[in-house]
Amino acid sequence: MRRISILAMTIVASACSANAGGNGETTRTSEAPLQRTAPPRKIVHPMRGTAPKQTADIPIEYNGGYVMGGTVDVYLLWYGDWSGWAATTILPDFIQHLGGSPYYAINTTYGDQYGRQVTNSINLAGSYADSYSRGTSLSDADIQGIVSDAIGSGNLPLDVHGVYFVLTSDDVSQGGFCDGYCGYHSNEVIGDTYVKYTFVGNPAQCPSGCEPQAAGPNGSASADGMASIMAHELEESASDPYGDAWFDANGDENGDKCAWTFGDEYTAANGALANMRLGDRDYLIQQNWVNAGGGYCALSY
């Protein structure tokens, strides 16, 4: 969440170079140059009760920066002890079915002045288990270091098209997690590459603040809660990767503008609430801000 708009302007972005020809593949686009003036920002996912209200009267604005064009590669960094947790099955399955969905198509309404358009294409590119390399009490610098270490050790590739998720087990504390936010996204420079990464804590530590309901549709309230937070952070990482592209006059990005709103819901087989089915699973995922028709929160586009 930001406080200052860098440059408010309106563009009509087109998919031009983002989509390839008839083979159905997505063209990779060049990344942002190293000569950036805006420093990396930590942009948080608010907790329940502190989330911005839907602000349909405040449009989201383009502020001159880059979006992520082409397929986004997602890397899952499982930090801590995840043995016996259903999240290690539920969350990879969620990511694998998120791309190409009517829900993630909402992000295709975001482009930039450099000819990029966010596409409805996500690739689960890799995962790595880190068994407490930096202990059980983490700072923001530790989160950044966990990503750097995984890449530097060769356990994950250095991928300019990637978003690296640091997911922590329930015995790991981190800065403002459960105190003010449920997750955040930011970026760092590794070598000559801008790396996008996010932190998502385990909602089991603060279910009233980071879980939408006491029982998730997949049988794990914490894993189902993390799925919604991951969707929020991925949407913002693609549409505002460096904190200088898409946000409104209050500093709210597309995920922020619809945080903790779920639209039309139904009852899953286990009695939990859900609002979408991806693959063979039901999920309760927050809405996203459609950048069209004046802007509105929705579950599909």
Torsion, Cα 135 141 143 148, to 10 degrees, reads -100
| Distance, CA of 28 to CA of 72 (rounded, Å) | 9
Give the amino acid at 201.
G
- Which residues lie closer than 8 Å to 257 by C-beta, 6 or more apart? 52, 54, 55, 60, 248, 289, 295, 297
Torsion, Cα 293 294 299 300, to 10 degrees, reads 20
Cβ pair 161, 27 in contact under 8 A: no
pLDDT at 48: 76
pLDDT at 14: 33
pLDDT at 32: 53
Considering Cα of 216, then 218, then 222, then 223, what sign does the dihedral take?
Answer: negative
Cβ pair 5, 247 in contact under 8 A: yes
| Distance, CA of 148 to CA of 253 (rounded, Å) | 26
The order of strands in the sheet holding 193-200 is: 43-46, 181-190, 193-200, 162-168, 70-79, 118-130
Cβ pair 147, 165 in contact under 8 A: no
Considering the four listed CATH numbers 1.10.357, 3.20.20, 3.40.390, 3.40.50, the one that applies to the domain covering 42-53+62-298 is 3.40.390
pLDDT at 39: 55
Residue 228: Cβ-neighbour burial (10 angstroms; 0-12, 13-18, 19+): buried
Give the amino acid at 123.
N
Low-confidence ranges of the chain (pLDDT < 70): 1-41, 49-56
pLDDT at 44: 78
